[in-house]
Amino acid sequence: AEGEARRGLGSMNASNMKSKLRNVSSTMAESAPSSYASEDTSTDFATNFITKMRDSLVPDKSTFSKDQDLQSLTEKLKQEGLSGDYISAIKQVVNNESGSDWTIKENHNYSPAKAVNMFSALKGMSTSDVAALRDRGADAFFEKVYGAESATGKALGNINSGDGAKYAGRSYIQLTGRSNYEKYAGITGHAIDENPDLLTTNHQVAMDVTAAYLKDRLTNTGNPLKDVNKAVTGSFLRRPT
């Protein structure tokens, strides 16, 4: 029924749109799960039904604040034995990496000059070519800079076509690369290697993976900020130099 609604709207004019939506709404109401049942048979039902279905599949950001997110992450880090100055340093690095937003995926919209400076795979490319690559979208961009044929991609453990895009940076620490996704899937039991977007759609997964990564990678030299920065930005050449 949802597909029918999408196909039909394209050919409707203003006079028959309301009638068409009533018919679609009635059909959807009859087949809707009980949790979405409604006595409303108005033209808004189809929109409301689709919105509820969509919202059940994505995180409701309105229920989280960055302060709440970081407090939850702090408690998780404490459970892993981290405390004091190291938690403060982790919060600072997390803010630098993702703006403390666990739902964020790495952004590819760099200026051409900045992109060339950041990514070794773009060295020698003209700014116009880099701009054209960027404008092709995130998948094309990350496949170029992190793909299996690039030096950075190889260091990240990307071995298959599509790995560069599939395993681009996500969540608190912008975890990047097949090797990292596979390793911390194994440690946490969360299948982020098969479904990387779990990191940006499931808060518990994001916290568990971040805590496991930091517990695994941190070395204590007595300089918390330096140690955390090294753990987050140095492993598997997670960021190009």
- Full DSSP string of 171-228: TTTTB-SHHHHHHHHHHH---TTT-TTHHHH-HHHHHHHHHHHHHHH---SS-HHHHH
pLDDT of 60 over the 70 cut:
no
pTM: 0.70
23: left (phi over 0), alpha (psi -120 to 50) or beta: alpha
Residues 116-126 pLDDT 10s: 999 999 999 99
Residue 221 amino acid letter: T
What pLDDT, on a 0 to 100 scale, did the predictor assign at position 64? 52
pLDDT of 32 over the 70 cut:
no
What pLDDT, on a 0 to 100 scale, did the predictor assign at position 146? 97
Neighbours of 94 (CB within 10 A): 25
Q: Token match 């940006």: residue?
A: 200
Q: How confident is the model at residue 68 (pLDDT cuts 50, 70, 90)?
A: confident
Question: What φ, ψ does residue 187 adopt, rounded to 5°?
Answer: -70, -40
Higher pLDDT, 68 or 211: 211
- Judge whether 201 and 59 are in contact, CB under 8 Å: yes
